[in-house]
Amino acid sequence: MPLICRQIIATALLSLLMLAPYAWSAVTGEEIYKEVLEGTALYDDPELDAYIKKLGAEIISVSEMAGEEFTFTLLDSPDLNAFATRDNYIYVNRGLLNYVSNEAQLVSVLAHEVGHITRKHVTGQEGKATGAQILSTIAAVLSGSNEVYEAGMAYANSIIRGHGRRNELEADEAGAEYMAKLGYAPSEMISMLSIMKDYESLQKDRAKAKGASKQTYHGIFSSHPRNDSRLRTVVSKANAVKSDETRDNGASRYRQLTDGLIWGENFLAKEKKPERFSNMRLRVRFDFPKDWKQNANPKPFMASGAPEDKTATLKMRPIARTSQTPEEYLYNYLKVSQLKEGKSIAPARLKGFTGILPGGDKGPDSRIAVVYYKLNAYLFSGEVTEQDAFIETDKLFITAINTFRPISSREIAGQKPKTINYVKATSRTTFDGLTKALKLNAVDSQDLRIINGFYPSGEPSAGDWIKIFKQ
């Protein structure tokens, strides 16, 4: 594209960025939620998710919006961030939990985000940023210019930062007040700020070493310098409404719930396709037809999926196998003498058998299959709501069944992410010693110091609980 054309397009689209606040002003919290989950998976830890929801509910109970419904969501993202959007949605990244050391620090983050909502800061603000970000991406694509994209993102970030300078302090005031009412020490908000600033410093140093610029904006306490007198004043004022029921910082509870928390990229989640059923306990997987959705099923080890219109379903469940052949097993299980188009199959070189079970007067035909792996017989059932749709849908059933295969130990080992684990320091424990013992590189060593609150220097004392990396 000629340079003059690029400049015209860039100018036009960057002008549109100024209108982004209005273009996205009607976006709902639920719509944003769906968009967020399109790009980032939920973190699969029911106990930790319930813990965050419980803490969130306690904060709401002492806020100006007590009794109103809030949605707290734990995202499987390594980024150190938490944010709030309209309609009372609050998001916490799994990566943030890596850096938090106790329950009170986590509460300080959640209370801060609740403060943004109770102080009416999120109405329209996230829409402005989203609109600007999307338009900046469109501008980059159409103009072929990375500079256009960077200019757009700079504008989007300026919206957020502009929102922050005034409103962040209000959210801090609200959050510190909620903490005090619940019996937590509001000063933990300052300790959380220190962690954030250490993280920012490290990211900037790493970017500088690479000769690159690094955006370290993460929203939480973003407008404060490390020793911000404004935040200290906020904390001091909050102590005036402190509850008589003083709580400890909850370090033990937090440690118990986050032991084993994934550090960095979760490769298992990253590589997992939306249509892929994987079960690490059974060590098997298969792929549903493209664009089908997996259905939640209360039964353990039951897989079920269907297209958007729900006109078909494919189910799989394991049953204890016998000494029978797959063909004999299927006939005996179904209590039939034969199946239409019955034939042997061998997905991933495993023994199996499949055929069509006639529906007759009871309804449409269905695809039935069984595959043997170790001690289980994996029974597949593909069903349609209308007989006319069976022939074409059956092709999808067969393709899906043939994707069934074991997950190898090598595969699991190659994708196994690092986790955070806790150990007690001894009188001889040093971070240099831990770096050698854990075979960490320089980057991991610096991260190890930050997540333990010893960046850039310092050593743990004997008896201190400290975080380490495991794989």
Task: Decide if pLDDT at 144 tops 50.
Answer: no
pLDDT band, very low/low/confident/very high, at 254 (cuts 50, 70, 90): very high
Q: Where do the domains of the chain lie, and which CATH numbers do they carry?
A: 3-260 (no CATH), 270-411 (3.40.1000.10), 423-464 (no CATH)
Mean pLDDT of 96-100: 95
Task: Decide if pLDDT at 248 tops 50.
Answer: yes
The answer to whether 352 and 373 are in contact (CB under 8 A) is: no
Decide which of 373 and 152 is more confident: 373
pLDDT digits (tens, 9 = 90+) for 442-455: 778 889 999 999 98
The whole-angstrom separation of Cα 101 and Cα 453 is: 8
Q: Look at residue 309 in the predicted model and tell me its pLDDT.
A: 84
Q: Look at residue 123 in the predicted model and tell me its pLDDT.
A: 73
Q: Look at residue 366 in the predicted model and tell me its pLDDT.
A: 94
Sign of the four-CA dihedral 254, 255, 256, 257: positive
Sign of the four-CA dihedral 51, 56, 61, 67: negative
Name the token pair of 182.
């619940």
- Mean pLDDT rounded to a whole number for the chain: 82
The whole-angstrom separation of Cα 128 and Cα 139 is: 16
Q: Look at residue 180 in the predicted model and tell me its pLDDT.
A: 95
Q: Look at residue 53 in the predicted model and tell me its pLDDT.
A: 97
Which residues have a Cβ under 8 Å from the Cβ of 366 and sit 6 or more positions away? 356, 357, 359, 381, 382, 383, 384
Q: Look at residue 232 in the predicted model and tell me its pLDDT.
A: 86
Does the pTM of the predicted model rise above 0.75? no
pLDDT digits (tens, 9 = 90+) for 295-346: 766 565 577 888 888 899 999 999 999 899 999 999 999 998 889 999 999 9
Q: Look at residue 1 in the predicted model and tell me its pLDDT.
A: 46
The whole-angstrom separation of Cα 80 and Cα 263 is: 11
The answer to whether 419 and 469 are in contact (CB under 8 A) is: yes
Task: Decide if pLDDT at 35 tops 60.
Answer: yes
Mean pLDDT of 139-147: 47
